[in-house]
Every structure is written in C-alpha cells, then in structure tokens.
Amino acid sequence: MDVLKEVGNIGAGNAATALSRLLNKPIDMAVPKVQMLPFEAVAEKVGGAECIVLAIFLRVEGDAPGNLFFILSPEGAKKLLHRLAGIHVESEEEFSEMEWSALSEIGNILAGSYLSSLADFTSLAMTPTVPALAMDMAGAILSYGLLQFGEMGDSALLIDTTFIEDQQEVEGQFFLIPDPESFDKIFTALGVPMNDD
Amino acid sequence: MIEEQRIVKVGMADLNIIQQAGLIRTTGLGSCVGLTLYDPLAKMAGLAHVMLPTSTIAREGELNIAKYADTAVPALLEQLLSSGADKKRIVAKMAGGSQMFTFAGTGDSLRIGPRNVESCKEKLSELGIPLLAEDTGGNYGRTIELDCETGILFIRSVQKGIKEL
C-alpha cells in the first residue's frame, strides 16, 4: 500500500507542478490515499452518487492498464477556465464547445504529466487514450471505472489525490483505478516482494 | 400533514424489494441497468442495480448474484414470489445502460451498457415477464425510483429532468 501511495504521490506531484505552471500559482496537494473501497464508497468520495461532477476520463493502456479520472466540481471547472484561459463562463448549466475543449486540453495536460511520471518511475509503458469529458452524476461516471473490478468482487483499489490552490478552492481530484491485474506488475516493477497483501 | 415516505435504497450491484407503500430507489446509473419488477395487486416492487451482463465472466470467490443480469433477474423474481407476489401479474420496467464515454476503436467493454440492457431483456423473456417500458441508452446518468403504490417509475437525469414511465 505504501508503494502505491508513493506511485500516486509521484504522479500527482508532477500533475500539480504542471497545473502550478499553467496557473502561475502554487498548487498544493494532499497526500494520496490508497484504499480498497466498496463500490458505493467510491462515489461518496466526491459527494455521493448523484452529485454532479465534471470528469475527464482516460483509459491507461500498456503494461499496467487502468482507468484515470480527473474530477472537478462544475464550480471548480468554471474557476479553472477563468484563471487559465480568461474564459468567464456565462451559462449556469452548460459549458460551450470552446469551454469544453479548453477543459479537455487542461485534463490532457494534467493526466499526461501524471501518467508520464508514473511510467518513468515504474519503467512500465503507460499510454493514455484520448481523454473523454462528461458532466453528470458521479455514480454514473465512476461506475464505469469499476467494471474491471466488478468481475472480481465488490470493491476497487483507488489512488486518490486532491489538489488545493491556497484560498481559491480550485480543487480537483485524481482517481487512478488500476485494473486488478496491474497490481502485480506495478509491485514487480518497483521491486516489492509479493508475499503479503 | 405530510407523511414521511418510506424509501428503500438499492446500492450498486445490489437488489431489494418493497411492499405496501413507499419508494424503492437507486442512484447514479451509468452503464448499469436499474431493473424493476412490480406486482400491482400485491403492491410489491423489486429493484436490481445490475452492473455486468453475465456471470460467466465472474472471477470472484463468492458470486454476488445481484451484480449480473443473468443471475439478478431470476433472484429478484424469486424474492418477490417468496414474499407473496404472483408471477402472472409481475411486470418489468427498466432504465440505464448508457454509454457514458465514447471512444473510437476500443474494446468491447465500452459497450457494456447496451449489453446489460440486452442481457436483462433476454432473461425477462426467458422468464416470461413482460417489459412494459424502458428508458435506456444515451450517454448520461440516471437516478430512478419506483412508486410501490402506483408502479410508476420516475427517472431523473441531469440533462433531461424528470421522466415518468
């Protein structure tokens, strides 16, 4: 577990640095949490299954496949757009095509830096797919990331890191849900003996 | 005076039933399917939050029957019948099975929503249960609740508001 926490730490640290550069502001991040969580509890992490979130999702392919989500509140996404691109979001309900595409690009940069540092650290090939965006109920979005675990049980491994920008509340969360068969590869790559759970 | 309505909540990969009065609800359905069975005379309703189409892919030690369409539908029916529902009266409604994300050129797992829907339908027709209504597909999430007294299925989504089936 400590090793996985370190993996999350390194990935999120790089992503935080990337975000700091983009915003030209220091971005803090919380220490990652690595947990085996029941499905129900995954969506609770962002406020419940019905809570509306904006999610940038990409599938990680390569040696250690998994699912990566960058989750923002709709408010947080608006603030991020404003700060980053000078876009003032007018609509309460929806994002325009341009706003959507700017968010997609931000997600791409953050997720890319998260993944590339993980790949460097573990020497495993990890390639991201093109990110997909959705603004919807957290349960509906995150359940997609749990399907691989669904075949094995009712809980999933989640590496969860929160970003905090000092007073501005641009908070986002990275959820990395490695596929069940990826643990061994990550552990092996990091030289951790596989004799305990 | 407004009476507090009883609500039975069904989690992901879970199933439950309700009798007499109240609502049975599940939240945040994406590619999962919310399948409901209802006996209008006995005022008895059941709901399963189905996650995967078939238990043949299961690799877990102890099978969670509520998780797979092929095992959840018969199990839910059985639970209703053993509580006094009549199979001849039971009707089904369902919602969910969306594709939350669309990518080009990726694997079969992305079609999990439509496959969940198909698998539920197959099982219903095998068991001889008529499917009265469905609100499935699309690319958005749904929260559903069935009113045990009327059998009306309420479907709430971010984009489309509230719909009744």
Here the tokens at position A36 are 């085996």
- Of B31, B57, B109, Cβ closest to residue A143: B31
For CA atoms B8, A143, B13, B121, give the dihedral sign.
Answer: positive
Q: Do B101 and A143 touch (CB under 8 A)?
A: no
Give me B120's structure tokens: 């539920």
Are the beta carbons of B100 and A130 separated by less than 8 Å? no
What is the ipTM score, two decimals? 0.86
Say how far apart CA B6 and CA B109 lie, in whole Å.
36
Which of these is catalytic: B8, B17, B32, B124? B32
Nearest to B101 among A138, A144, A152 (CB): A144
Residues from A in contact with B at Cβ < 8 Å: 39-40, 43, 48-50, 52, 57, 59, 129-130, 132, 134-141, 143-144, 146-148, 150-154
Q: Tell me, what's the pLDDT at A117?
A: 81
What B151-157 contacts at long range (C-beta under 8 Å, 24+ apart), as own/partner pairs, is: B151/B38, B151/B40, B151/B45, B151/B91, B151/B93, B153/B36, B153/B93, B153/B95, B155/B95
Distance CA A83, CA A71 (A): 17
Cα A47 to its chain centre, rounded Å, is 16
Phi, psi of A165 (to 5 degrees): -100, 125
* A39 to chain B: closest CA residue: B12
Q: Which residues of chain B have pLDDT under 70?
A: 1-4, 103-110
Instruction: Give the pLDDT confidence score for residue B62 in this predicted structure.
Output: 82
Please judge whether A40 and B64 are an interchain contact, meaning their C-beta atoms are less than 8 angstroms apart: no
Please compute, for residue A166, the number of CA atoms within 13 A of its CA located in the half-sphere on the CB side: 5
Whose CA is closest to A93, among A36, A52, A59, A153? A52
Beta bridge mates, A155: A38
Contacts of B13 in chain A (CB under 8 A): 39, 150, 154
Residue A196 to residues A53, A133, A183, A184, A192: CA-CA distances in angstroms?
36, 38, 13, 12, 10
Smallest Cβ–Cβ distance between A137 and the set B101, B102, B143 belongs to B143
Q: What is the pLDDT of residue A89?
A: 66
DSSP state of B80: H
Whether B120 is a known active-site residue: answer no
Question: How many interface pairs between A and B have CB atoms less than 8 angstroms apart?
Answer: 94
Nearest Cβ partner for A49 among B27, B101, B139 = B27
Identify from A37, A39, A56 which residue to disrupt to test chain B contact, counting B C-beta atoms within 10 A and taking the largest count. A39
Q: Which residues on neighbouring strands pair with residue A29, listed in sequence order? A: A163
Strand positions, DSSP E, chain A: 27-29, 33-38, 52-62, 66-72, 126-128, 132-137, 155-165, 172-178
Contact A59 B103 (CB under 8 A): yes
> What pLDDT is recorded for position B131?
97
The predicted structure's pLDDT at residue B98: 94
For residue B12, the chain A residues in CB contact (below 8 A) are 39-40, 49, 139, 143, 146
CB contact under 8 A, A151 and B29: no
**CA distances, B54 to each of A54, A139, B63 (Å):** 30, 21, 11
Low-confidence spans in chain A with pLDDT less than 70: 1, 89-93, 166-170, 192-197
Whether residues B59 and A152 touch (CB distance < 8 A) is answered with yes
Instruction: Give the model confidence (pLDDT) of A40-77 as tens digits.
Output: 888 888 888 989 999 989 888 898 888 888 888 888 88
- Report yes or no: B141 and B157 within 8 Å, Cβ to Cβ: yes
Closest CA to A130 of A78, A190, A60: A60
Is residue B47 within 8 A of residue B19, CB to CB? The reply is: no
* pTM of the complete model: 0.86
The CA distance from B95 to the nearest CA of chain A, in Å, is 12
pLDDT tens-digit map of B100-134: 887 654 555 568 999 999 999 999 999 999 999 99
The predicted structure's pLDDT at residue A23? 72
B66 φ/ψ angles, rounded to the nearest 5 degrees: -75, -15
Residue at A148: amino acid letter:
Q
Q: Which pLDDT score is estimated for A197?
A: 45
**Whole-number Å distance between alpha carbons of B72 and B37:** 11
Angle of helix A97-122 relative to helix A2-23, nearest 10 degrees, comes to 140
CB atoms near residue B74 (< 10 Å): 13
Pick A50's closest partner by Cβ from B27, B60, B103.
Answer: B27
